Structure 1
Amino acid sequence: MTSIFLPRVDGNPYQEQLIDNLRKIGLKVEIQQPFSSSTFFFPMVIKHWKPDILHLHWVEPSCISTNGFLSLLKSVAFLIQLVILKIIGIKLVWTVHNLKNHDNLNLFLNNLCTKTVIKFADAIITHCEAAQEELIKTFDLKDKNKLFVVPHGNYVEWYENKISREAARAELNIKTAETVYLFLGLIRPYKGVPELIETFQKLKSENIRLVIAGKINSQDADLTELIQQKITDDQRINFIPGYIEPEKIQVYMNAADVVVFPYRDILTSGAVMLAMSFGKACIAPRKGCLGEVLDNQGAFLYNLSDENGLIHAMNQTLDQPKAILEMGQHNQQLAANYSWKNIAELTLEVYLSCL
């Protein structure tokens, strides 16, 4: 059996681990060459004539651009190729990472492409039941027989995890006694970092630190200035903008006590599984898959509708080092259940249901 992954996302451990484990159980998995077009994918399909499965992961790169006219051209090309795939009998599997692009660009075209994928897909994978329900509700999906839940795998064996808490804190110039909150990863407007800063500054404790580390895309450049303005004169906040090298992830994770996900909106998140894989307690909204993967034994969950939800959750973590440590250990045990071997086997079952 041959599966083609689309689009290629370089440096994405999710794709790499899933592909590697599918290959281990006997599948031939192909992925686009670096810098290949995510819109014009049909030449790759022809090159591997003819694959059994086209496994689509993200719709947006194939059909959406910041330019409206370019988005129209990309969408037309994308839809024509989907029709051809359907005619020649290649099965389409879609894993739902997002229901729309995070920037809300050209939503009419985005929704048109997504609805077409839903119509043509032989199987649709979500990472949890909550995401599946949101998909059904958003797009009024009728054919539920082609819906499958395959969880997001862990990162337990992917990143190095050797550095001690003390050494990690020394590298980041953080005091041993401080309670450290961490936001790690790509910083986008929907992730709520400015709100996190404002909430942190309301906490009535001096022995705390907030570390914000991650890249800000060029289209969000004003976000860098906004963050820098908000943290001015607050020595308790470390802001490290820029790409975080994979070998440095262990430094930030092991220096932290709690990893915070102050998202305004979310369907699923690999970052949560990353924090759990490093054995960290989490603060997150009870939204999408976050409310299913995390539980009250390992996380301080809050409702997005509660304007005081985030600060209440952060207040609960103050002066509770033993409880936070135990919550992190609980999360690491949960993460161990999401092995990529199991994820690959579940994905194979989805493929077989299409044939």
Structure 2
Amino acid sequence: MNSSLAVLQSFPVPRSTTNPYLVQLARGLRELPGVTVVNFSWRAALLGKYDVFHVHWPEILVSGSSPLKKLVRQALSVALLCRLALTQTPVVRTIHNIELPKDISVLEVWLLRLIDRRTTLYVRLNSETPLPKGQPSVIIPHGHYRDWFSRFPKAEKIPGRIGYVGLIRRYKGVEDLIKAFRQTTISHPGLTLRLGGNPSTREIGEKIAALAYGDDRIRLNLEYVSDAELVETITSSELVVLPYRFMHNSGGALAALSLDRPVLVPANKVNQALSEEVGPGWVFQYTGALTPESILQTLASLAEDAPRTRPDLARRDWRNASSAHKKAYEKAVAYAGQAPQLQKAMRP
């Protein structure tokens, strides 16, 4: 193994809209001795020199904003897979989502399956993430956002303010949050809801606006939310509600906890483990559909017994996460090119 490890990340040079998870990972890796981070471009991927390819959200590689751009990217993805196979370059893949995206083509599914077949080592963000049988993996918890948000001013908490911020996709159930909140109009007219995020489709945005129409307690911002506005929205809220219809790994929950605000999330094993990790009074769970009673009971619990210490996010320090990624890359290089029997013997 080379003393210096060059890692091609599947995201380009970060912009203001780049997921902070990716930016913090790249930054942390660059601070480690012996690691070089190469940001993604098709030229770098096909012609550049690197020891490991680390892919996040592989569906981005095979999609495009127009049919022509999509076709070109798919052809380039095939070329990249051929290069990786010929050079026996290991592929490390972080599993952010456990299901394939909805409404993608048969060709896209086929290409994503090919990327899976080329994957040497998987990075799981929690122990509940399923894997293809027999595949080697490591668990590296999603890092926190405390350092990332520290440069932005915090707002004063507003009693009775409920917040939601983040991309608005169908599976995130924002419609359910608005419906449940509107049922508190008579019993709790002093509650307010602040909701910000860019809808994934015009249809979803129009539906959200229609559901909120006529309730002056609801404030909408249906567009991209800057980090400064995200911090202001979360810290002004007494409770952040994430009404996801399916939740596995949630950067939104960690964003709220990083800013010392409690969250209400669907009950599942991942969220129960997060609750136990960060300490009492920070992660509240509801079973089934989100109801106004779930929101009101959580607010009552906070009023009666607010947490006295910050959430414990020690396991999610980016220095630890960066070092763990470096070890994962080294393990993937050790696996690459070896006989299947030896790879199997080395698996944890």
- Give the alignment's TM-score, normalised by structure 1: 0.81
Retained in 2: the 8 A contact 1:156–1:277? yes
Retained in 2: the 8 A contact 1:262–1:310? no
Query: Which whole-Å CA distance do the structure 1 matches of 2:20 and 2:319 have between them?
Result: 14
Retained in 2: the 8 A contact 1:101–1:110? no
Instruction: Name which of 15, 25, 30 aligns with 2:38.
Output: 30
Q: CA deviation at 1:312?
A: 4.2
Retained in 1: the 8 A contact 2:239–2:264? yes
**Other-structure match for 2:259:** 278
**Other-structure match for 2:338:** none
Retained in 2: the 8 A contact 1:86–1:120? yes
Q: Aligned-pair RMSD on alpha carbons?
A: 2.6
**Other-structure match for 2:195:** 212
Retained in 1: the 8 A contact 2:28–2:322? yes
Q: CA deviation at 1:154?
A: 0.4
Q: What is the SS of the residue equivalent to 1:205?
A: coil
Q: Does 1:345 align with 2:336?
A: no
**Structure 1 residues 52 and 164, CA, compared in 2 at 3 Å: closer, same or farther?**
closer
Retained in 1: the 8 A contact 2:271–2:283? no
Kindly provide the amino acid, as one letter, of the partner of residue 314 in structure 1. Answer: I
Alignment of 1:53-202 (within 5 A): 53-65=52-64, 71=70, 74-100=73-99, 102=101, 104-106=102-104, 108-131=106-129, 133=130, 136=131, 141-144=132-135, 146-160=136-150, 163=153, 165-166=155-156, 176=158, 178-202=159-183
Kindly provide the amino acid, as one letter, of the partner of residue 285 in structure 2. Answer: L
Q: Does 1:301 align with 2:288?
A: no
Retained in 2: the 8 A contact 1:7–1:58? no
Query: Which whole-Å CA distance do the structure 1 matches of 2:134 and 2:117 have between them?
Result: 9
Query: Which whole-Å CA distance do the structure 2 matches of 1:57 and 1:213 have between them?
Result: 25
**Other-structure match for 1:172:** none
- How many residue pairs align between the two structures? 320
**Structure 1 residues 18 and 164, CA, compared in 2 at 3 Å: closer, same or farther?**
closer
Query: Which whole-Å CA distance do the structure 1 matches of 2:221 and 2:213 have between them?
Result: 14
Bigger drift between 121-130 and 65-74 goes to: 65-74
Bigger drift between 105-114 and 342-351 goes to: 105-114
- Give the alignment's TM-score, normalised by structure 2: 0.83
Q: What is the SS of the residue equivalent to 1:130?
A: coil
Bigger drift between 20-29 and 310-319 goes to: 310-319
Query: Which whole-Å CA distance do the structure 2 matches of 1:323 and 1:13 have between them?
Result: 34
Query: Which whole-Å CA distance do the structure 2 matches of 1:240 and 1:279 have between them?
Result: 23
Retained in 2: the 8 A contact 1:94–1:117? no
**Other-structure match for 2:11:** 7
Query: Which whole-Å CA distance do the structure 2 matches of 1:325 and 1:214 have between them?
Result: 28
**Other-structure match for 1:48:** 48
Q: CA deviation at 1:120?
A: 1.2
Bigger drift between 112-121 and 229-238 goes to: 112-121
Kindly provide the amino acid, as one letter, of the partner of residue 26 in structure 2. Answer: I
Q: CA deviation at 1:298?
A: 1.9
Q: What is the SS of the residue equivalent to 2:146?
A: coil
Query: Which whole-Å CA distance do the structure 2 matches of 1:111 and 1:294 have between them?
Result: 35
Query: Which whole-Å CA distance do the structure 2 matches of 1:278 and 1:198 have between them?
Result: 26
Q: CA deviation at 1:323?
A: 4.9
Q: CA deviation at 1:63?
A: 1.1
Kindly provide the amino acid, as one letter, of the partner of residue 210 in structure 1. Answer: L
Retained in 2: the 8 A contact 1:7–1:61? no
Q: CA deviation at 1:80?
A: 3.6
Query: Which whole-Å CA distance do the structure 1 matches of 2:220 and 2:191 have between them?
Result: 15
**Other-structure match for 2:28:** 21
Question: Which whole-Å deviations, capped at 9, do the CAs of 1:255-293 have from their partners, x for residues lacking one?
Answer: 101111111223312111111100111111134744432
Bigger drift between 310-319 and 336-345 goes to: 310-319
Q: CA deviation at 1:231?
A: 1.5
- Identity among equivalent positions (%) equals 21
Query: Which whole-Å CA distance do the structure 2 matches of 1:179 and 1:297 have between them?
Result: 17
Retained in 1: the 8 A contact 2:30–2:36? yes
Q: What is the SS of the residue equivalent to 1:315?
A: helix
**Other-structure match for 1:173:** none
Retained in 2: the 8 A contact 1:181–1:258? yes
Bigger drift between 77-86 and 188-197 goes to: 77-86
Kindly provide the amino acid, as one letter, of the partner of residue 326 in structure 2. Answer: L
Kindly provide the amino acid, as one letter, of the partner of residue 207 in structure 1. Answer: G
Q: CA deviation at 1:56?
A: 0.6
Q: What is the SS of the residue equivalent to 1:122?
A: strand
- Structure 1 alignment gaps of length 5 or more: 170-175
